[in-house]
Chains A and B, each alone.
Chain A
């Protein structure tokens, strides 16, 4: 076991521009985020001896940054890959394989989405290409991620208005954030009047399509004091994988997925914290129902009650559990694999530098998904070493 707070984020940054960035491809966005993170930490490329990159070839990234890593991780399992990278980087530093790891993300999900990506689903002969894609239709993110939702609504009485409230609450956070794409407040009526994408999912319950990059640098807590930035300590983390491919049909329990529970339990246990200790929360919201399943799977809210919890205002500004405070994938930015952007908002909150700062926040939990009910990872940050 690694003691809570033994490792810290000492550099963290998004790409200079996010949203619509036509002059950069995924690679350019990744390089821009990496350089910003290096500058943030006051490090040169030659100071980096470990490199993790998801969905883009890690070797190309090393070459283009002029980094000669002793350790690399190219894990590409969807949007949570970069949270996995952070876990693995800590283990690698702990083992002595490297000392300073740069974790890089870039995705031109809007301007150059047709360029290949190492996570492209549907390779010929793959499970999803044979058994899912033929049915999933043109908007497969919504049709696949949306699979458990109708049954959840029938079982627990979640209403479309409660689902809409997820988008309404997050728009309130986005209104405080100049970098957010959608800053105008919205209402349940307006969300429910937005075009149907895949019943019961409407456009305003669906993430944005953006271009974005970002990167972070992790090292041991002992070294963290030497950096110009306020260290953000990693208290604990968890991860789990359920299946590959796309469809949640093969998930053991799509309604109460085991992989969320496994990842969350391990994150809390390794951090030595309980739910009451968490001041700030990021739950990857590709769609409005993702935070509902996340709140319950992580154990913040009993099964079937997350819709009411959000409707009661507990996650909006001023609520007891501020969630997705950058505006989330629904209102801030979502370039396809959102896990790095989730972590970067948590780092800003822990540094006290977020656009919509949660005053007094000392801990933050980040939970990301990979694929569609395929994998997930969880990390707990703090701004003080325990």
Chain B
């Protein structure tokens, strides 16, 4: 199992966006919906008329666990959150919440988040989220 993300032609734009700290996913021109993970076909209506868009990065915390194991891949010491993030545009994805105490009290279901970018170890720039605070 190789742990470092390996981009495909169909996902390269997502990773290019990440390098410049832009959250970029696709939206379908036919049904209007955003979707994730990246693919050249809309999973809602099978249309090929899809295009990449830069998103606001606004999101909420759908759910999470707080792992007690270290993560050698990013030289990350526990505890750290593994979180399901609900993007404002609809899709959910897996990420982590940074700049926040990693406790069940501080991490609140549905709390507002914004995209944040972090580099762990030798990895590529990775999409993370931080509490939105008073950012509206």
Residues of B within 8 A of A249 (CB): 62, 84-85, 92-94
A199 to B37, CA, bound (A): 26
Number of interface residues of B (CB under 8 A): 41
B63→A149 contact, CB < 8 A: yes
User: Is A227 engaged at the interface, CB distance under 8 Å to the other chain?
Assistant: no
Q: Of B26-34, B47-55, B64-72, which stretch is located at the interface?
A: B64-72
What's the least CB distance linking B55 to chain A, in Å? 15
Residues of A within 8 A of B96 (CB): 135
What's the least CB distance linking A252 to chain B, in Å? 10
Residues of B within 8 A of A200 (CB): 65, 104
Residues of B within 8 A of A250 (CB): 36-37, 91-93
User: Is A272 engaged at the interface, CB distance under 8 Å to the other chain?
Assistant: no
Residues of B within 8 A of A276 (CB): none
A133→B84 contact, CB < 8 A: no
Most A CB atoms within 10 A — which of B4, B5, B67, B123?
A: B67
Q: Which residue of B lies closest to A121 (CB)?
A: B1
Residues of A within 8 A of B72 (CB): 138
User: Is B45 engaged at the interface, CB distance under 8 Å to the other chain?
Assistant: no
Number of interface residues of A (CB under 8 A): 42
**Within the complex, which residue of B11, B80, B85, B104 is in contact with A150, where a contact is CB–CB below 8 Å?**
B104
A125 to B14, CA, bound (A): 13
What's the least CB distance linking A219 to chain B, in Å? 39
Chain A 269-310 interface residues, beta-carbon cutoff 8 Å to B: none
Residues of A within 8 A of B37 (CB): 127, 130-131, 250
User: Is B13 engaged at the interface, CB distance under 8 Å to the other chain?
Assistant: no
B62→A124 contact, CB < 8 A: no
A147→B84 contact, CB < 8 A: yes
Q: Which residue of B lies closest to A245 (CB)?
A: B37
Q: Which residue of A lies closest to B7 (CB)?
A: A130
Known A-B contacts A132-B94, A135-B95, A138-B71; A146 and B5 likewise in contact (beta carbons under 8 Å)? no
A142→B2 contact, CB < 8 A: no
What's the least CB distance linking B11 to chain A, in Å? 6
What's the least CB distance linking A273 to chain B, in Å? 34
Known A-B contacts A120-B1, A147-B84; A139 and B67 likewise in contact (beta carbons under 8 Å)? yes
Q: Of A9-17, A59-67, A190-198, which stretch is located at the interface?
A: A190-198
User: Is B41 engaged at the interface, CB distance under 8 Å to the other chain?
Assistant: no
User: Is B100 engaged at the interface, CB distance under 8 Å to the other chain?
Assistant: no
A138 to B62, CA, bound (A): 22
Q: Which residue of A lies closest to B11 (CB)?
A: A130
User: Is B73 engaged at the interface, CB distance under 8 Å to the other chain?
Assistant: yes
With A127-B37, A133-B3, A134-B74 given, name 14 new contacts (CB 8 A): A129-B5, A134-B73, A134-B123, A134-B126, A137-B76, A138-B71, A139-B69, A143-B65, A143-B67, A150-B63, A197-B68, A197-B69, A199-B68, A247-B84
Q: 4 smallest A-B Cβ distances: which pairs?
A: A151-B63, A198-B65, A143-B82, A199-B66
Residues of A within 8 A of B (CB): 120-125, 127, 129-139, 142-144, 146-152, 154-155, 195-201, 247-250, 254
Please list 12 pairs of residues, one from A and one from B, whose beta carbons are closer than 8 Å in the complex, sorted by A's number. Answer: A130-B5, A131-B93, A134-B73, A134-B126, A137-B71, A147-B63, A147-B82, A199-B65, A201-B65, A247-B93, A249-B62, A249-B85
